[in-house]
């Protein structure tokens, strides 16, 4: 089980006492991870930062009830995951891949388009996974959380983490078979 480091623990304690500056440092420390989790879960880059900010605001409000027994990062990611799921419920329709490419100002360069197209296919494949297995995959593949941390973050047993991860990877292997064979 990964707990907060000494410096992080001090920042958490000060934040719990209402120290906004300490909380700002915590935001700075975890912003990229939280943005990534929201983005990977929702697939919406435009709203990922906004949702990540919302996650931090919610974390600030929930801080008094935070107990430093598990990883602070995991606790934050749980909030971020829930916000991403809420966001998906609100916006059921996802952005169309082609539309996105037309809007892309960097679409002049062919190589970049190819790269972007590939990442859009990957993004779509990840987004097509059920939320439960997608959460596990995002936390493992993009945030490199251990099985134990994922279990704590999502409040599920380690066995479930493994089976969901296995399911997500198997599904992706068959969805992305063309990409996998290409490279």
Partner 1 sequence: MSKHIDAQIQAYFDGELNGKNRKKAEAHLKDCDKCQQGLNELSHLSSILQADLKISQKANSDKFVSQVMLRLPRKVRQTWWQKFGKTAYMLIPALLLLVLIFHRTTNFSNNLLLGADLLGIGEEEISTLLSAPVLTNVEIPFPLPTLDMFDAGGSMWLSLGNINVFGIDLSNSFIYPLIFGLLSISWMIGWWVTQEQKQKLKN
Separation of alpha carbons 73 and 183, rounded Å:
34
Question: Closest distance between partner 1 and the C-beta of residue 128, in Å?
Answer: 14
Q: Does 18 bind partner 1 (CB under 8 A)?
A: yes
Q: Does 81 bind partner 1 (CB under 8 A)?
A: no
Q: Does 154 bind partner 1 (CB under 8 A)?
A: no
Q: Give the DSSP H/E element, type plus range, for residue 39.
A: helix 20-42
Total site size for partner 1, rule CB under 8 A: 52
- In this chain, which stretch among 2-10, 31-39, 86-94, 99-107 interacts with partner 1, using CB under 8 A? 31-39
Among 51, 56, 70, 76, binds partner 1 (CB under 8 A): 56
Q: Does 153 bind partner 1 (CB under 8 A)?
A: no
Is there a contact between 81 and 13 (Cβ–Cβ < 8 Å)?
Answer: no
Is there a contact between 77 and 34 (Cβ–Cβ < 8 Å)?
Answer: yes
Could you tell me which of 31, 30, 113, 110 has the C-alpha nearest to residue 72? 30
Token match 């990534």: residue?
36
Sequence-distant (6+) residues with CB within 8 A of 55 are 34, 38, 76, 79, 80, 83
Q: Does 88 bind partner 1 (CB under 8 A)?
A: no
Binding residues (CB under 8 A) for partner 1: these are 14-20, 23-24, 27-28, 31-32, 35-36, 39-40, 45, 48-49, 52-54, 56-57, 60-65, 115, 118-119, 122-123, 126, 140-142, 146-147, 162, 165-166, 169, 172-173, 176, 179-180, 183
């Amino acid at each position: 089980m990964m707990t907060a480091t000494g410096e992080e623990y001090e920042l958490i304690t000060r934040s719990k006492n209402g120290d906004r500056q300490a909380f700002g440092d915590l935001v700075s420390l975890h912003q990229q991870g939280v943005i990534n989790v929201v983005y990977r879960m929702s697939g919406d880059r435009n709203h990922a930062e906004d949702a990540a900010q919302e996650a931090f605001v919610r974390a600030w409000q929930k801080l008094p009830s935070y107990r430093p027994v598990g990883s602070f990062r995991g606790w934050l990611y749980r909030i971020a995951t829930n916000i991403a799921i809420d966001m998906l419920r609100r916006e059921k329709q996802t952005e169309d891949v082609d539309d996105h490419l037309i809007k892309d100002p960097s679409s002049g360069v062919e190589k970049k388009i190819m790269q972007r197209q590939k990442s859009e296919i990957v993004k779509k494949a990840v987004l097509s996974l059920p939320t439960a297995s997608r959460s596990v995959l995002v936390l493992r593949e993009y945030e490199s959380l251990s099985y134990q941390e994922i279990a704590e973050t999502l409040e599920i047993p380690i066995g479930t983490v493994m089976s969901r991860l296995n399911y997500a990877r198997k599904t992706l292997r068959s969805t992305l078979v063309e990409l996998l064979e290409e490279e």
